[in-house]
Structures are given as C-alpha cells and as structure tokens.
C-alpha cells in the first residue's frame, strides 16, 4: 500500500466483499439481502460501494432520503432502492427515479397514493413500516385494518414488503425485548396478509439481528454497519474487516518548552519538554472536538500519539515525544488496528458516528 501524502480515506473493497460473504453465510439461500448505503455508505462512497455490491448480487439497496437514492440510481444501480424516510416534497423525484418508499403513517400513505393517482400510475411498489418498540417511525399494529381498507380502494400501489426495526438487537441483556418485537412483527405480518389477500416480503433484522436472531431472518435482512466492518460485539468483531482506513501525514514537528501552550484557548499547557506533531485533519474533516485534550489519539509508526489541546477546524496536534518520527511520515487515524470503534470509544461515542462524520472533502481512494 503506498504511504499517504495527504489526508485520505482508503476504502478496501476486498474487505467489503469479505463482510458481505460472512453475513450471507448466516442466511438461508432463499433469504434476500438488502444493503444499506445511506449516509454516503456510512461515510465511504455510496456509488462505488453500491456498484461493487450490485456485482456481488445484492438483492436490494436502502438509503435514508430520496436524494441519496437518486445518486446511486444515476450511477448505474438497477436493483430496487428502498427509501427509508421519504418526504412528501420529494415524491415527484422519487417516482421519476423509480425509488420505493417506506411509508410509516396514514398521512404519508394517503399523500403518496394521491400523487400516483394524479399521474395515473398503477401498482407502484411501496413498503410499510410498523413500529414494534423502537418508537421512531412506523404504523401501529392497531392500524392494519385501516391500511387494508385504504389499499382496497386504490390500484395505485402494491405492497412489496412489511418491515420493522429492532431496537436493541446487539444487546443480549435486552433479548426478551427483541423477541417480543419479533413476535409482534410476526403477528402484524400475518394479520396484514390475511387482510389484503397476498403476502409481501417481511424483514426486521439489521446486522446484529442477522447474527443474534436467525429465527427472524424471514424473507429478507438488512445490513449496514456489518458491511463496513463492525459486528457490534466482541464475539463477532473478529469476523469482520473494517472497510475504511483514515490516514494523514505529519505537516510539522515542534519542540515545546515548559510553560508553553498548544492550540486554541491554550487548552494544553506543558511543564515539561515535549515534541508535538501537527496533522492536516480537524473537526471539518470529521474528527470532532470531543477527541481533543488527550481523549483521542492517532497512530504513528505503530505507537499511539494522544491529541494535544483542542481539535482545530483543519488541524490537530499530537504528542510524539516518545515516537521516532519525521515530518512527512504517515499517520493512521483509524483502520484495521486501531479501528474506528476503538477511537470512537475514547470519546465516548460509537463507530457509526465517527465513520459517517468523515467529510466529503477528504479524498477517497479505492483498493480493489
């Protein structure tokens, strides 16, 4: 691998394939696989990731918002694309680009039907989300009959799937809650099928659901974080390979004498001699202020270098007193070791937040 000469995010497509194949190995051959590529494919690159996964024969894709779906559709994705949180203002574009909405209350269902009626469109694929305990989006189980009545009065839509979302599938201390969600979803699905006279796809499992609740794989599963290299548990993490490695370089090294301070607001003051290295990456690139003042760290020549003082917009300073390094040397922010989960934990957050925060101004490099 060539050494970094600037701040870059390396995206390892072989690691992505490994993660996909590992997750697929947990499924029955008939279970469909939906790849989640929202939030710039968890901070990487949605178009490159989606095109690669399409070649691996993923069955479905999911994004959060319509604009994200348009981006991967225009990049060449021909597989179905589920929009998890559509907004009524985007219905025109959603239809134009053949995107499939997840509808979650009667208001949005009726408004989408009205838009299709206006365009004289029939049998447009939709997905219905039911709330089984996450309490974020979704119809209630008591609305099944009302939904069935609405559907019986129109030919504009055809329900492709019913879905719900596990709230704590990674936490085995909450197993009873997850099992209750699964049972509630099964009851909703059975009632819906009875009411409308046909059986859509059913799916509730996210990455941790795939790993911990094989009895709930149903017709399709959805994976986001697992594809990008995290199994959400000490037991599973070794089987995954982080896809993204964030690298930068040392711009300058300073010899700091006792009594001097480093960075904004003089947040770090030293009473000893030390060497600091300045790196061209900051909170505008996704390394937020919570990583400052010794909480976060980088790796230089295999050794940890704690962040000194406050994180700046475009730079951080790190302690390299005990590290043999020079200006121009490569720096690892996160990658395979330490990975994003380890760095995120140092700032009391999670890998999801860290990897999705990496700015689009950071150059992406693809390793194929």
Catalytic residue ranges: 38, 264
CB-based burial label for 32 (10 Å; 0-12, 13-18, 19+): middle
The two three-digit tokens of residue 237, written as one number: 């993490």
**Which phi-psi region, left, alpha or beta, contains residue 218 (left: φ > 0; alpha: ψ -120 to 50)?**
left
Angle CA(61)–CA(64)–CA(156) in degrees, nearest 5?
Answer: 75
For residue 95, which of 62, 58, 61, 70 has the smallest C-alpha distance? 70
The two three-digit tokens of residue 212, written as one number: 């911990």
Rounded CA gap, 287 and 315, in Å? 9
Distance from the Cα of residue 160 to its chain's centroid:
23
Q: List residues bridging with 298 in a β-sheet.
A: 305
Q: List residues bridging with 127 in a β-sheet.
A: 102, 161
The two three-digit tokens of residue 133, written as one number: 């305990």
Q: How many residues does the chain have?
A: 368
Q: What is the largest CA-CA distance in the chain?
A: 78
Rounded CA gap, 174 and 167, in Å? 9
DSSP, collapsed to helix, strand or coil, labels residue 296 as coil
For residue 242, which of 318, 344, 126 has the smallest C-alpha distance? 344
The phi and psi torsions of 305 (rounded to 5 degrees) equal: -125, 105
Percent of the chain that is helix, strand, coil (3-state, to 5): 35, 25, 40
The DSSP output letter for 143 is G
Rounded CA gap, 101 and 172, in Å? 31
The phi and psi torsions of 334 (rounded to 5 degrees) equal: -155, 160
Q: List residues bridging with 367 in a β-sheet.
A: 12
């Amino acid at each position: 691998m060539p050494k970094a000469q600037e701040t870059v995010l390396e995206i390892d497509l072989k690691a992505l394939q490994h993660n996909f194949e590992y997750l697929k190995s947990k499924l029955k051959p008939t279970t469909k696989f939906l790849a989640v590529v929202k939030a710039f494919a968890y901070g990487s690159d949605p178009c490159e990731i989606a095109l690669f996964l399409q070649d691996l024969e993923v069955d479905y894709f999911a994004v959060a918002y319509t604009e994200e779906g348009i981006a991967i559709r225009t990049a060449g994705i021909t597989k179905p694309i589920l929009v998890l949180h559509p907004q009524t203002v985007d219905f025109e574009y959603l239809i134009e680009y053949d995107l499939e909405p997840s509808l979650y209350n009667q208001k949005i269902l009726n408004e989408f039907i009205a838009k299709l009626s206006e365009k004289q469109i029939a049998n447009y694929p939709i997905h219905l989300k039911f709330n089984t305990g996450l309490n974020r989006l979704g119809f209630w189980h008591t609305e099944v009959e009302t939904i069935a009545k609405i559907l019986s009065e129109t030919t504009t839509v055809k329900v492709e799937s019913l879905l719900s979302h596990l709230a704590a599938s990674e936490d085995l201390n909450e197993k009873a809650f997850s099992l209750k969600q699964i049972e509630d979803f099964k009851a909703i699905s059975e009632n819906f099928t009875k009411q409308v006279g046909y059986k859509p796809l059913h799916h509730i499992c996210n990455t941790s659901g795939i790993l911990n609740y094989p009895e709930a794989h149903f017709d399709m599963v959805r994976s986001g974080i697992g594809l990008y290299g995290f199994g959400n548990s000490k037991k599973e993490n070794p089987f995954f390979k982080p896809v993204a490695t964030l690298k930068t370089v040392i711009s300058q090294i300073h010899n700091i004498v006792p009594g001097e301070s480093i960075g904004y607001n003089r947040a770090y003051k030293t009473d000893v001699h030390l060497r600091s290295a300045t790196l061209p990456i900051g909170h505008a690139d996704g390394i937020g202020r919570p990583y400052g003042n010794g909480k976060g760290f980088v790796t230089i020549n295999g050794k940890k270098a704690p962040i000194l003082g406050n994180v700046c917009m475009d730079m951080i300073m790190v302690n390299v007193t005990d590290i043999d390094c020079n200006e121009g040397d490569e720096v690892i922010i996160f990658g395979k070791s330490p990975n994003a989960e380890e760095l995120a934990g140092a700032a009391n957050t999670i890998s999801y937040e860290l990897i999705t925060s990496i700015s689009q101004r950071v150059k992406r490099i693809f390793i194929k």
